[in-house]
A and B are shown apart, each in its own frame.
Chain A
Amino acid sequence: MIKCENLQKRVPMAGTELEILKGITLEIKSGESVAIIGASGSGKSTLLGLLAGLDEATAGSVAINGTDIGALDEDDRARFRGQHIGFVFQSFQLLPALTALENVMLPLELQGQNSVEEQARHYLQRVGLAARTGHYPLQLSGGEQQRVALARAFASKPAILFADEPTGNLDTTTGEHIIDLLFELNREEGTTLVLVTHDQALAERCQRRLRLDGGALVGE
C-alpha cells in the first residue's frame, strides 16, 4: 500500500542545512492502522506530510499503491490526493466561511461528483451532527468541528486516511469520543490509517507503532 525508501528531508536554515528526516524506510499494508510517535521535533509531521504527498522529499521515494508520488508534479499529486487520500488535522482545518455541510461537500465537489449533498448529509449524520449541518465552524465546539472533519475525510471514501494529532486540541473525554468514531469509521470503510500522535492511549489502539527520534526510525 505505502512503501517508502530512504526518505530524507533537509531544509536550509541560517546558512546551514537542517536534517529533519535521515533516511526512513518503511512499508504499510492495506487496511493496516499505524501510529507514528515520538517527541516534539522528531520529524513526525514532516514524515506524515511526505507520505501524504503534501511535501517533496530531498531524497528517497514514497510509493502509494505502486505510484511513485515523488515523481508526480504538484498538480498530479493534488489529483492523487483527491482520489486516494483523506486528512484529519489537529486544528480541524475547516473552512470558516463554509457551513458544516458545505465543508463536507467540498472534497466531493473537487472530485467532480454529482449529488454530493446527499452523501455529505449521510456522513454528517454518521458522526452525529445531522442537526447542525447549517452551522459554521465558529458556531461549533472543538469536538463538533473535529467530527465535521471526520465526516469530510471519510465522505470522499479515501484508500488512506492521514491524521495529524487528531485529539491534540481536544479534552480527554471529547478526544476519546473522536477516537472511537475514527476507528469505527475506519473499520466500516476499510481504510488504511496512518496517524501521528503524542497520545499513548491513541497509539495503543493502532495495530502498529513507529517511533521516530531525531529524524530516524528507532523501533516499532
Chain B
Amino acid sequence: MTATKMLARDWRGGELGVLVMALVLAVGVVSGISAFTTRLQNALEQESHRFLAADLVVTGGRELPADWLLAAERSGLQQALTLQFPSMVYAGDDAMALASVKAVSDAYPLRGEMTYSQAPFGTVLAADTGPGRGEVWLDSRLFALLDVAVGDEVTIGEASFIAVAAARTEPDQGSSFYGYGPRVVMHYSDIPATGVVQPGSRVEYRQLYAGETAAVASFREWLDPRLQEGQRAVTVEEGQPGIGSALDRAESFLLLAGSLAVVLAGVAVALAARRFSERHHDYVAIIKSLGATSGAVNRLYGSSLLLLGAIATLLGCLVGWGIQALFFSLFAEQLPVQPGPSGIRPYAIGAVTSLTCLFCFAWPPLRRLGHASPLRVLRRDLPMENRRAFFDYVLGLLAVTLLMWWYSQDWKLTLAVLAGLGLTVGLGFCLALTLLRGGRLVGMSAGSIWRLALAGLQRRGNANALQVVIFAMAIMMLLVLLLVRTSLIDEWQAQLPEDAPNHFMINIGPENVQAIEQLLRVEDITSEPFYPMIRGRIMSVKGEELPSTDDVQEGRRQREINFTWSDTLPNENRLLAGEWWAPGSDEPLVSLEEEFAERMGLEVGDEVGFLVGSQPLEARVASIRQLQWQSMRPNFFLVFPPRLLADFPATFMTSFHLDEADKGFLNRFIRSFPTVTVIEMDVVVEQIRTIIYQVSAAINLVLVVILAAGGLVLVAGVQASVDARVHESAILRALGAQRRLILGGLLIEFATLGLFAGLLATMAAEVSVFILQTLVMEMDYSPTPWLWPVGVFSGALVIGALGVFSCLRVVSTPPVRVLREL
C-alpha cells in the first residue's frame, strides 16, 4: 500500500485534520510573524533613519575627504553635505543676533523632510530641499529679533541673503541645542561667499549617506579604518539611543513572540501526532496481524508524514504570507514608509520549523506505531506502545531549544523561555499528581457530579498530569507575552505622555525667571521647574589632569558642560548609588549621570575638578543618577548643591507643553523676552510618539496571532483526552445519566485541570518574565499581582469551556452511535 493511498484514505476518514492544521498553523504563524517582523523592521528602521536624515552620517571638525563621496557614489549610495557653525546675522543698520547656521546641499535630507513656514510660527509645510542659492530660512524668532519680515535682506559674514521663509525643523536637529542660537538654513554652495568659515573655526562638517542596507554596511566597513581623530561615523542606533533601544525591545518582543509560536506549534503538532498515533494503534495492529512488518509500517507512516509535511509546508507558507499581508493591510495607512520585501528567509524558517516539528514532534509517536502489538486485534485493552517516551521528550526539548535559538539568535531570550518551560514541566508533574490526589480525598464526600468528575481526574492521573503541563505551557507563554507587551507599552507611554513637554526655553536671565513663571501661569501653560544652568569645564578626575585636546570626541578629556543645582532629586531621576545631600548643604558635592560617570571612570567618593568662569572648583561625587533621556525634561549630567554654585553667574531653563493650536503664544513671548531662546521639539516628540504607536500596534497584532496559536494548543490538548471522556460519558448516558450530570461533571473535570494549569502557568510566567525583563529587555522587573487571579481563573474558565464544548456531541447524539464510532 502506498503512502498516498493511505493519506487519501485517512483524509477521508477525517483522521488527519488536526495534524495538518497544526502543521499548517505552525508554518503559517512562524513564517507569517517572521515575514511581518522583517518587513516591519525594515519600515521602522527607515522611519527612524529620518532622525539622522540619512542611513549613515560622518561628522568632523574639519572638512571631510571628498574621495569618500566618490567611493560612496561607486557603491551606489546617495549623498548630501551639511555644515553647521555659529555666526552673527545682521539686518538693517544695527540689528544683529547670534545664530546657529546650517548650510545644506541640494540632496539634503536623504531621509525624512525639512519643514518651514511662510510666516514666523505659521503653518508648518514640508520641503524636500532647503533654501536655494542666495536665500535663507530664518528661525521664527529671528524675524522678531532682527526686526525683519519675509522677503527682507539679512547678512552673514560678507554675503547677503533674502529671508524667504521661516525655518521650522530638520530631521536631524536632534537635541544638541546647548550653546547655539536660533537656526538659519542656507545653501551649501554659498559658504565660500560668506567668508566666515576659516581654518580653526568651530564648525561641524557632515557627510550623509543613504542606500540599500547591504551597501551602507559595506561602505561603513570600508570607511571605519579611514576615520581619523575627530571624525565619527554614526548610524541610527548609535545616533538616537532612545529610539534605538525602543526598536531593540520591540524586536526582542517580536522574536520572543515568534519563538513562542515555534514552541506552541511544536506542542500542537506533538499532541496531534500523538492522537493520530493512538487512533492508528488498532489500524496498525490489524495490518500487522495481516502480515505487515514494523519496517513496512514505519515506511508507510514515514513517507505519509513526509508527503503530509510537504503539503502542509506549502499551505503553511501561503497562510504565513496571508498573515503578514493581512497585518500590513490592517495598518498600512499608518505606516509612514513602504515596508520592504521580506525575502525568502521567513519562509525558509517556516519550512525548517515544519521539518523539525515533523521529525522531532510528529515522528516519535508515529514511529512507536511500528512496535504496536498485533495482539491488540484480540485484546483491545492492551496498553499502547510507550517505549522511549522519555527520549522523545528530551528530543522535543532539544528541538525546541535549537529552534528558538536559531529563530531569535538570542540565547538569553531562549534561556528565559526555557526556564519557564522547565519550571512548568518539573513542578507541573509533582504538583498535578499531588493536587489531583488531594482532589480525590475532598471529592469523595461531595455530591455525585463532583464524585464523578474527581474520580475521572484521579483515574487518568498520569494522562491528566501531562495535560495540565501542556495547558500550563500554553497559558504560561500567553501570559509571558501579555506581561511583556503590557510593560513595554506602559513604559513607552509613560515616557511620552500626551502632555509631555515639547518646547524648551533656555538662556533665561535670573531677572526674567519670575516674570516668565507668571506669564506661563496666566497663559495656563504647565512647565517643569526652572533649572539654573551654569557652563563650566571639567578639568581633572581623581586628581589627574585631563587632556585638553578637542579631537577626542569620547572618553576622558576636558570638556565644556552645563551644570545645574538643586536641593532635591530632579523629576524622573533615580539614584543608583550614593546619597542625595541634605537641603541647604554647602558641602563640595556633585551628583553624576550614570553613563557620564562611567565614561569618566568616576564612582561615589571620587574627586572631580572643574573650572567655572575663571574659578577652580573641587567636588566629591556624592551620588550617581539614572535619567530618562526621552522624557523631554531638562536633564543634566551634573547637579550641585545650590549653595555651592550660588556665587556663579547662571541662566535658567525649563520645558513646557504647548498644543499646536497655541503656537501663537511663542510670537507674543519672543517679543516680550527677546533674549530667551525657545526650542521647538513638538515635531520630534510627535515623531517618536508615532513610531511608538506603530510598534505598539504591531505588538498587539502579533499577540492576537499567538493567542490563536495558543488556543490551538489548548484545543489539541483537550481533543487528546476527549475520546476517553466521550466514551465514558456515552456509557453514563446509556445508563440514564442526565445532560446536567454529564456536562457538569465534564465542566468540573476540565475546569479543575485548567485551574491547576493556570496556577502553574502563572508561577512559571513570573519567572520567565523576570529573566526576560532583567536580562533581555533591560527593563525594571516589578511583580504583577493581578496576574495571579487572571492566570488561574482564566485557565479554569477557558479550559472548562473548551472541554465541555469538545464533548458536547455526547449529549446531542444517541449513545449507541457514539459508542459505535469509537
Whether the Cβ atoms of A109 and B294 lie closer than 8 Å is no
Residue tally, chain A, CB below 8 Å to B: 33
Whether the Cβ atoms of B15 and A93 lie closer than 8 Å is no
Whether the Cβ atoms of A110 and B1 lie closer than 8 Å is yes
When C-beta atoms are compared, the residue in chain A nearest to B297 turns out to be A78
| Interface-facing stretch out of A62-70, A94-102, A177-185 | A94-102
Q: Which 9 A-B pairs have the closest CB atoms?
A: A82-B291, A97-B13, A75-B293, A107-B290, A78-B293, A54-B375, A97-B9, A55-B375, A54-B374
Query: A74 interface residue, CB < 8 Å from B?
Result: yes
Q: Which chain B residues numbered 258 to 295 have a C-beta less than 8 Å away from chain A?
A: 282-283, 286-295
Query: A123 interface residue, CB < 8 Å from B?
Result: no
Whether the Cβ atoms of A78 and B286 lie closer than 8 Å is no
Do A54 and B378 contact each other (CB < 8 Å), given the known contacts A106-B1, A106-B287?
yes
Q: Is the interface of B mostly helix, strand, loop or mixed?
A: helix
Whether the Cβ atoms of A79 and B375 lie closer than 8 Å is no
Contact residues of A with B, CB < 8 Å? Answer: 45, 48-49, 52, 54-55, 74-75, 78-83, 85, 87, 89, 91, 93, 95-98, 102, 106-107, 109-111, 138, 152, 156, 164
CB < 8 Å: which of A93, A97, A138, A156 contacts B377?
A93
Do A89 and B378 contact each other (CB < 8 Å), given the known contacts A106-B1, A138-B820?
yes
When C-beta atoms are compared, the residue in chain A nearest to B2 turns out to be A109
Query: B128 interface residue, CB < 8 Å from A?
Result: no
Min CB distance A95 to B, Å, is 6
Do A110 and B296 contact each other (CB < 8 Å), given the known contacts A82-B290, A87-B289?
yes
Q: Which residues of A contact B740 (CB under 8 A)?
A: none
Complex CA gap A109/B300 in Å reads 13
CB < 8 Å: which of B12, B287, B289, B292 contacts A54?
B289
Complex CA gap A86/B377 in Å reads 13
Query: B586 interface residue, CB < 8 Å from A?
Result: no
Query: B598 interface residue, CB < 8 Å from A?
Result: no
Q: Which residues of A contact B226 (CB under 8 A)?
A: none
Min CB distance B730 to A, Å, is 16
Q: Which residues of B contact A95 (CB under 8 A)?
A: 283, 286-287
The number of chain B residues touching the other chain, given as a range, is 20 to 34
Complex CA gap A164/B374 in Å reads 14
Q: Which residues of B contact A80 (CB under 8 A)?
A: 291
30 CB < 8 A contacts A-B: A49-B375, A49-B378, A49-B379, A52-B289, A54-B375, A54-B377, A55-B373, A55-B375, A74-B294, A78-B292, A78-B296, A78-B374, A79-B291, A79-B293, A80-B291, A82-B290, A82-B292, A83-B291, A91-B380, A93-B289, A96-B13, A98-B9, A102-B9, A106-B290, A107-B290, A109-B1, A110-B1, A110-B292, A110-B296, A156-B291
Whether the Cβ atoms of A110 and B290 lie closer than 8 Å is yes
Min CB distance B18 to A, Å, is 15
Whether the Cβ atoms of B291 and A107 lie closer than 8 Å is yes
Complex CA gap A89/B285 in Å reads 13
Q: Which residues of A contact B374 (CB under 8 A)?
A: 54, 78, 81
Whether the Cβ atoms of A78 and B294 lie closer than 8 Å is yes
Query: B10 interface residue, CB < 8 Å from A?
Result: yes
Q: Mark B804-822, 1 if CB is under 8 A from A, else 0.
A: 0000000000000000110
When C-beta atoms are compared, the residue in chain B nearest to A78 turns out to be B293
Whether the Cβ atoms of A48 and B378 lie closer than 8 Å is yes
Complex CA gap A164/B378 in Å reads 8
Given contacts A54-B377, A78-B288, A78-B374, 20 further A-B contacts (CB under 8 A): A45-B378, A45-B379, A49-B375, A74-B293, A74-B294, A79-B291, A81-B290, A82-B290, A82-B291, A85-B291, A89-B377, A89-B378, A93-B282, A95-B287, A96-B13, A97-B15, A97-B283, A110-B292, A111-B291, A156-B291
Do A87 and B290 contact each other (CB < 8 Å), given the known contacts A97-B13, A106-B1, A109-B1?
yes
When C-beta atoms are compared, the residue in chain A nearest to B295 turns out to be A75
Whether the Cβ atoms of B291 and A78 lie closer than 8 Å is yes
When C-beta atoms are compared, the residue in chain B nearest to A152 turns out to be B290
Q: Which chain B residues numbered 8 to 22 have a C-beta less than 8 Å away from chain A?
A: 9-10, 12-13, 15
Min CB distance A91 to B, Å, is 8
Complex CA gap A93/B283 in Å reads 8
Complex CA gap A80/B290 in Å reads 9
Whether the Cβ atoms of A87 and B296 lie closer than 8 Å is no
Q: Which residues of A contact B293 (CB under 8 A)?
A: 74-75, 78-79
